[in-house]
Chain A
Amino acid sequence: MGIRILEDKCTGCSLCVESCPFKLIKIVLREKVSKPHPKYKKIAVIGQGCNLCGACLEPCTFQAILIERVEEKPRPDISKYRGVWVFAEQKKGQIQGVVHELLGEGRKLADQMGEKLCSVLLGEGMDEAAKELIAYGADRVYQIEGSILRNFQDDPYTDVLTELIEKEKPEIVLMGATAIGRSFASRVAARLGTGLTADCTELAIDLKKRQLLQTRPAFGGNIMATITTPYNRPQMATVRHKVFRKAIRQGNRHGEIIKESVEGRKFSLRSKLVNMIEDITQTVKLADADIIVSGGRGLGGPENFRIIEELARTLGGAVGASRAAVDAGWIPYSHQVGQTGRTVCPKVYIACGISGAIQHLVGMQSSEIIIAINKDLNAPILKVATYGIQGDLFEVVPALTERLKEVLG
């Protein structure tokens, strides 16, 4: 198991060197590492830290790089797993927005595979919501009812979903990459011993192998990786908000609702939800926002967030902030966008007085349209902006708000 350079084939040509995303390949003199070769003086060597991604295989015209993925363990029988599932996350009975996006994407995957699209809904009094899932594209809904399932709680949710997966054997399980989804999916996948790919932004199917090709950003979006789960089922993925198009609601769709109750069943409840406190400023819902207006150091002080809030309110958007503004205590951490804050991908991101350090960029660079308002023409944010405005934000932002109020009425 591992990666090897085939000494008799490598010519030391260095074609592979640049293909390595981790810069681990070096060309050295053969005499330092192996036997001499009648024709070639040099050879490639692979440094420590290789994760066997295979990026170097294709560029090597001499087939001198070998990755051995030896199978030494019996693989589970995966032939009985069928269908695409979407976990229907609900809060206070409301199906979360990302679920409709997952149903849209899940429908496509299911159709390509010729399989059913199913949705799993855990909660209490969710009859109407279950019907809605059918209208949004599900062929079948597993509706599990119980007062203990009213709100997300780790233990009962994990027990219920893993049991259902073991019984029904879906081929693919998708969840939103929400605060709940990302931790819940990890626990379920770990209990099932199957693969889970976090925060996907692209999904496709390899029909021949029946594999889900899961593409996700890593290193804050600086590289993308396509990941598969070849030998285990289900193939699980959490999917980022706002990446896929929402399914179109069709009120006349028919589907099957399988309703079960867990009322009366004893669950362990080692972690218990005591209270839910909502942030009073609605402008904080960064994950769901189509438009985000963010302020940074250029605002100069906490009182100036007022103009950011007003623009956000006018656009019906949320308020974000750079780390500099949060660390200065101008605005709470829950607004922070970037590496140590939240990753967002709205349709429109308006950065006001934010220079655009890499840590900020990685948190917002997948936004559809980026608008940057900055005094400094050399600010890095202007290099990624769809529309750049060089100017004083204290003039531009109010002018924009005022004009928008006129236009939007």
Chain B
Amino acid sequence: MNFIVCIKQVPGTTEVKIDPRTNTLIREGVESIINPFDAYAIEEGLRLKERMGGKVTVISMGPPQAESALREALSMGCDESVLLTDPAFAGSDTLATSYTIACGIKKIGEFDLIICGKQAIDGDTAQVGPGIAEKLGIPAVTYVKKVEEMSEARIRVERMMEEGYEVIEMDLPALITVVKEINEPRLPSLKGMMRAKKANVNIWNASDIACVSTKIGQLGSPTIVNRIFTPPPRKGGEMILGDPTEQAQKLIERLREAKVI
């Protein structure tokens, strides 16, 4: 079976800091990582391949340096990789991104299951996964925490909800987005790293994937960012002193004043 995993390279979060003087995001020296949720998607792709046989292709859209994220995925055991990169993709919102990745997937060819992380930790939108499914005309289930069963034609998954979970059966080909609970991603093996170093990463631009120029990049994006600002930093508040009983009493008084209890 053919599995496709979509990944995004994001800034390593532990490093995301705000410059206290300018209140802007410090990006310098920030290492790039595979979006954490996408690591679960890669692992699930590899596990399903081990169970069902087949091939895992990993795809990403981004600047040329995103190639390193694809090599990391290859070192974990993915078979092939594709980077969609073109200055024409710049300024893409979630709709244009969904369309572009869908075009890339069409060029890859036949597939049975597409796996994405539930969202990227920089944009936090969770919109691209379902967007790709819509652009490819296939069904999707988001927030998957377990793949219960899979056959040639169908998949049965558990979807995490606010009050528990749903069991959903879906026809293939299809797309799922996964949450952390689904598995524990493996570390790259030494052999994998050696192989990834030498492996070919397919690099495709806008004309390679035959996308319509008005549907990509800024022109293909219905939304625009008007303004970016930093929320006022949360000020540290009051330290409540005393022994535990006094602390409890004072805290309850504060909560009563705030009318929350």
Interface residues of A (CB under 8 A from B): 1-2, 18-23, 48-55, 69, 72-73, 91, 154-155, 178-180, 182-187, 189-191, 193-199, 213, 217-232, 270-279, 284-288, 290-291, 315, 333-334, 336, 339-341, 343, 347-348, 357-359, 365, 368-371, 382-392, 395-396, 399-400, 402-404, 407-408
Contacts and interface: CB of A to CB of B under 8 A. Distances in A.
B223 to A, nearest CB: 4
Contacts of A231: 222
Given A55-B228, A187-B134, A371-B251, A18 B24 contact: yes
A184 to B, nearest CB: 8
A53 B126 CA distance: 21
By Cβ-Cβ distance, the 5 closest A-B pairs, closest first, are A195-B222, A270-B139, A190-B134, A186-B130, A195-B223
Contacts of B224: 52, 69, 227-230
Contacts of B57: none
Nearest to A190: B134
B174 A274 contact: no
Given A198-B124, A199-B124, A340 B36 contact: yes
Contacts of B225: 51-54, 225-227
B240 interface: yes
Contacts of B174: 270-271
Contacts of B160: 179, 334
Contacts, number: 301
Nearest to B130: A186
B140 interface: yes
A358 B26 CA distance: 14
Contact of B252 (A2, A284, A347, A403): A403
Contacts of A222: 16, 18, 25, 230
Interface residues of B, number: 93
B170 A340 contact: no
Contact of A408 (B24, B36, B228, B261): B261
Contact of A179 (B25, B162, B168): B162
B24 to A, nearest CB: 5
Contacts of A270: 138-139, 170-171, 174
Interface stretch (B71-79, B91-99, B190-198): B91-99
Interface string B99-138: 0000000000000000000000111111111110111001
Interface string B228-261: 1111001011111000110111011011101011
Given A155-B139, A182-B127, A196-B94, A223 B167 contact: no
Contacts of B234: 365, 370, 383-384
A157 to B, nearest CB: 12
A53 B227 contact: yes
B49 interface: no
B24 A21 contact: yes
B25 A340 contact: no
